[in-house]
Amino acid sequence: MMDILFYGTVNSVTFALIAVGFTLVYGVSRLPNFAHGALYVLVGFMTWSFVNDLNLNYLLAILISLCISSLLGAAIYRLVLIRLRGLPTSEIIASFAFGLIILEGLRLQGIGGFKGFIGPFYVLPSFIDAKFRVAGIIIDAQRFIIIGGGLAVVIMLWLFTHYTKIGLSLRAIAQDEQAAMMLGVDSDRVAMISLSIGSALAGLAAVIILPLGNVTAEAGYRVLIYALAVCIIGGLGSWGGAILASFVLGFAMIVSTSLFGAVWESVVLVGTIILILIFKPSGLLGKQKELEERV
């Protein structure tokens, strides 16, 4: 019972970490960033190569790869998406293509001596290698860091969007783009900032979560699916909904895994989405433009 509670929480926070960047971008600028999973994996591999090939300090490596990731996010907007604003189909296809270029590019072999990231050899070190015994179950420190990191990210984001000028302009654009533009908020600049923050958040999720397992390129697709699942269930663009949805999904998956085995994980995922779509098409807490946009 205790372990279901604990691992359920860890799982839920993982989902929330993965999804928060995606929701931020979509909520602010209505841009579905389908390159989200790719950026997640890319940060994992970059950190790994900085640590193992360049022998950088672990924290420094993380910082550099987060910076690169947020620059990439800004670049996606500046070079590609800015020309496609307001064409949802093209936005999806272009950002998805960008993500695929990164993901499949990581698996390229034999070009310029690049070996390609294939196989289960890429493991990020944990921050603290320790195990605790709490209430009868053994817990490693990384899982505590995930919970703490998740909390910290949510609190930081809340503070950022409520008390800084850039954060306030992000929310202004999210609420009413035209009114915000009349008050001197540059929509393109805000969209670029939101994409770069969203990409950095994808990377942050990667460095917090990935020490639990291997870094593989295939994980990119799964991460994208999880982020999308959380956002659909919570209601796209709704923050509270995303967090609530990650807890629903996280616990649903852990409970079903411990009852029926890991086989049913993906079935539960699809099942939850379909049920939510049938009974509440706008998602758990999604209110924005409910009628004209989704149904």
Partner 1 sequence: MATTEDTRQERLDRGIKVRTEGIYALTSWREMGYLLAPRAFLIFGLLLLPLLVDSYWQRVLCIAGVYALLALSFDFLAEYVGLVCLGGAFFVGCGGYTAGLLNHYLGWSPFFTIPIATVIGAVISTLTLLPCLRLRGVYFAIVSFMFPLLTVNIVVALNIFGGTEGISALATLPNIWFDQYLIFAVVIVALFVMRRLVNEDIGLIFRSIKDNDQAVRASGISITLYKTKAVFVASLMGCFGGAYLSHQYGWLGISLFAMDFSILPIAATVMGGAGTLVGPVLGAFMLTPLSEALRGFGQLRVVLYCLILMGFIVYKPEGIMNYLQRKYHQFEHWKEV
How near is the Cβ of 265 to partner 1 at its closest, in Å?
8
For residues 198 and 175, give the distance between their C-alpha atoms in angstroms, rounded to a whole number: 18
Q: Interface with partner 1 by CB under 8 A: which residues?
A: 32, 80, 83-84, 88-90, 92-94, 96-98, 100-101, 104-105, 107-111, 116, 221-222, 225, 228-229, 231-232, 236, 262-267, 269-270, 273-274, 277-278, 281, 291-295
How near is the Cβ of 34 to partner 1 at its closest, in Å?
8
Transcribe 179-218 into DSSP letters.
HHHHTT--HHHHHHHHHHHHHHHHHHHHHHHGGGSB--TT
Q: Which is nearer to partner 1, 61 or 228 (CB)?
A: 228
How near is the Cβ of 67 to partner 1 at its closest, in Å?
24
For residues 78 and 87, give the distance between their C-alpha atoms in angstroms, rounded to a whole number: 16
Q: Which is nearer to partner 1, 115 or 189 (CB)?
A: 115
Q: Which is nearer to partner 1, 54 or 97 (CB)?
A: 97
Distances (CA, A) of 231 to 106, 238, 283: 27, 8, 8
Q: Which is nearer to partner 1, 28 or 185 (CB)?
A: 28
For residues 250 and 10, give the distance between their C-alpha atoms in angstroms, rounded to a whole number: 8
SS3 assignment, position 26: helix
How near is the Cβ of 40 to partner 1 at its closest, in Å?
16
Phi–psi pair at 133, nearest 5 degrees: -110, 115
Q: Which is nearer to partner 1, 1 or 295 (CB)?
A: 295
How near is the Cβ of 205 to partner 1 at its closest, in Å?
19
Q: Which is nearer to partner 1, 162 or 289 (CB)?
A: 289
Element (H, E) at 104: helix 88-106
How near is the Cβ of 271 to partner 1 at its closest, in Å?
10
- Is 217 within 8 Å of 107 (Cβ atoms)? yes
